[in-house]
Structure 1
Amino acid sequence: MRFETKTAKAMPCRLLTCFTASVILLSACGEKKDKKPAPADAKKTAIPKVDAFIVQTRSFAESIEVPGTIIANESTEIQPEVSGRIISLNVAEGKYVTKGSLIAKLYDADLQAQLKKLQVQLQIANTNEERSAQLLRIQGISKADYDASLLNVNNIKADIDIIRTSIARTEIRAPFNGKLGLRNISPGAYISPGTIIAVINKVDQLKLDFTVPEKYTSQIKVNQLVQFKFEGSNKTYEARVMASESSVTETTRSLKVRAAIQSKDDVILPGAFAKVQLNFAPDPNAILIPTQAVVPQARGKKVILYKGGTASFVDVSTGVRDSSYIQITEGLKAGDTVVVTGLLSTRPDAKIGINKIINQ
């Protein structure tokens, strides 16, 4: 009897425990049923957004700056033809001289003495030749004897011409009208053919020499005007193309061009360094894109195009550039959409979106 009583009392506790567990279990199941699965889009990676540029053609005038040198129309170093001691020096430093002006005179007393000796011999030879001619007319001598006397006259005349030429070489004269530079010797100095007495420049017409890269050689024309500046002056001067070399220099792959300076200004000096500005004919259908849109590669250059929501890498050839834009000569056409941001993180054929369009 006692056993049954304890069992009857314990039954309600067990039932209560089971009921509580059932309620908790049902609640948990209800919570699991209430939770909805996360949408599939939330699990996908977000598509990166980039800025883009729409390619358009426009007129573009290309210009480049190249180094140049101002030169005189004529320039030469005044040097003697023979060795000797200077007895007279007439170098007016920094002054203009006319063609034929005597610059320097070398010692020629020995040559003058030889000339006088030959002149005396010529007088005697002429007298003998006249006598021989008279004797020949009366057949007093043979024709061979007369020819010998005439030959002697001609030989002495030739020797006199040689001496006079040697004397002329002792006189150093200006080869053309020009401006003398600084003299490098003093009176009494012994000079040789390698000695430079002074430099003379013909500065009434100055020229401009400059080099053009090989790719622009076809755009250089005779009579084309170019502009240049040089240190020491803020003015812009003009020069007209005269001629160019017949071939491109192999070492530098450039063409040497010569132009005649149109302005005459005393501040322009031969030998001065010049910055030459070349402006070429405009291209009405040039393609320009932002400079940062070009991706350098080990072999060539690429740009990223936006095509149907994906990134497409294409090879391009470039031309001139400035601080903002670069010219594309091959690889793009009008209407293409070029990616200009996020270039390092964009992979070929990757999905991308447009954040905004950058205007040209």
Structure 2
Amino acid sequence: MKQWLWSFILLVIALGATAYLMQPADSADDEGPRGRVTHVNVVQPERAQIQDRLRAVGTARARNSVDIVSEVDGRIVDIHFTEGQQVVQGDRLVSLDKRQAQADMAVAEARLKDAEAKFRRAESLQKSNSISAAEVDELVAGLAVARASLELARSRLDNLEVVAPFDGVLGLKEVSVGAWLSAGQLITTLDSIDQMLVRFQVPQRYIDQLQSGQAIDVATSGAASTRLSGEVTELGSRVDPLSRTLTVQSQVSNPDARLYPGQFLDVSLTLDTRTGLQIPEQAVMTRGRENFVYVIADGLAKRVPLELGSRLAGRVEVVEGLTLEDRVVINGQDGLSSGDPVKVLDDDDALLEPAPSSQIRAGGDDQL
């Protein structure tokens, strides 16, 4: 009985050894010195133009903006504009009743003619000493007063025509024909919007990097977002003691009138442009304060710590840690360790679509 049992045990061992020895040799493709082979996708770093950008909230302002008012009282007899109309400097906007002013003008002209005639007679009499110097002086003063009165009457008459002080777009109409218009009362607004000013605040730590001529991009909020480009034109002269920010003014071309004065804008300011290495952001892993990637060398994964720079549209700048020849893992790095065997797969869809965002600098919150 015992002999039969030992024979059975030896047979089982022999069958197991035979099965092990008959395993296919290519099964090693899925096994390695440290276990299962990890399938990964890789890319190589690219050299690209890197831009350091700062995001801020801005407000659009018209290059020139004014409330159109009358300088004198009067009744409106005609309105020469429509709401939203484009006008040029000198275009008539509103006409007031001129009858009283025209009468005053006629009186002033008559008084001037009389004063001039009296002065001419006085000049003739002065040659024969038939008039005293005091009388001549009185006539000279009267002539000056008559001329001033005529200028005043002419100015009052001219002020009854309200005209555009500069080129621009008119706003809503606030008056009607036949209404009494008081001096200083709002008629409409006028804004010059072909070139818009955009003001925004920048933290004081970036003051040394600011200068006129730096490029900016602005975007409106909403479903139909408008994006325009411009440049910094002026820097404020004071830092706000409460917010510790400096006001920056830029100018943006607005040929299609897509920006409006007072509009909220997202501003992206380019602080610096340089050439550097970039990799897909999806390749970067973080543990605590350390950023790192895995690179492939001789079929094995290797963990490489990185110093990162700016991020934009799904890509990140590598300041230190990689070269152009490195093969960087972009998929399959979860659970990977240095020394693990890997197999590189080609996949045209390995790169993720970048989420729409504005560039910021690594290591700091540059969004205001």
Q: 1:80 to 1:292 in 2, by over 3 A?
A: farther
Q: Which residue of 2 aligns with 1:210?
A: 200
**Structure 1 residue 173 corresponds to structure 2 residue 168:** no
Q: 1:240 to 1:61 in 2, by over 3 A?
A: closer
Q: CA deviation at 1:130?
A: 1.7
SS of the equivalent of 2:178 reads: coil
Q: Which residue of 2 aligns with 1:44?
A: none
Count, aligned residues: 252
1:274 to 265, 277, 280: 265
Structure 2 unmatched runs, 5+: 1-47, 277-283, 291-308, 315-319, 322-335, 339-368
Q: CA deviation at 1:174?
A: 0.3
> Which structure 2 residues correspond to residues 139-150 of structure 1 after superposition, within 5 A?
139-150=129-140
Larger Rg: 1
1:260 to 240, 251, 254: 251
SS of the equivalent of 2:131 reads: coil
Q: CA deviation at 1:236?
A: 3.5
1:163 to 135, 150, 153: 153
**TM score, norm. by length of structure 1:** 0.60
> Which structure 2 residues correspond to residues 89-168 of structure 1 after superposition, within 5 A?
89-168=79-158
Q: CA deviation at 1:290?
A: 7.2
Q: CA deviation at 1:66?
A: 1.0
Q: Which residue of 2 aligns with 1:192?
A: 182
Structure 1 unmatched runs, 5+: 1-58, 295-302, 304-318, 325-332, 335-354
* Cα RMSD, aligned residues only: 3.7
Q: CA deviation at 1:99?
A: 0.5
SS of the equivalent of 1:223 reads: coil
Q: Deviations over 1:17-76 (max 9, x none)?
A: xxxxxxxxxxxxxxxxxxxxxxxxxxxxxxxxxxxxxxxxxx986433211122222111
Q: Deviations over 1:259-301 (max 9, x none)?
A: 12146334333333211112333798xxxx977726xxxxxxx
Q: CA deviation at 1:91?
A: 2.3
Is the Cα contact below 8 Å between 1:240 and 1:262 reproduced in 2? no
Is the Cα contact below 8 Å between 1:84 and 1:190 reproduced in 2? yes
Cα distance in 2 between the residues matched to 1:143 and 1:224? 71
Letter in 1 for 2:91: S
Q: Larger deviation: 119-128 or 179-188?
A: 119-128
Percent sequence identity over aligned pairs: 26
Is the Cα contact below 8 Å between 2:61 and 2:261 reproduced in 1? yes
Letter in 1 for 2:238: S
> Which structure 2 residues correspond to residues 1-360 of structure 1 after superposition, within 5 A?
62-231=52-221, 233-234=224-225, 236-262=227-253, 264-281=255-272, 293=288
Higher strand share: 2
SS of the equivalent of 1:151 reads: helix
Cα distance in 2 between the residues matched to 1:251 and 1:292? 36
**TM score, norm. by length of structure 2:** 0.58
Cα distance in 2 between the residues matched to 1:118 and 1:137? 29
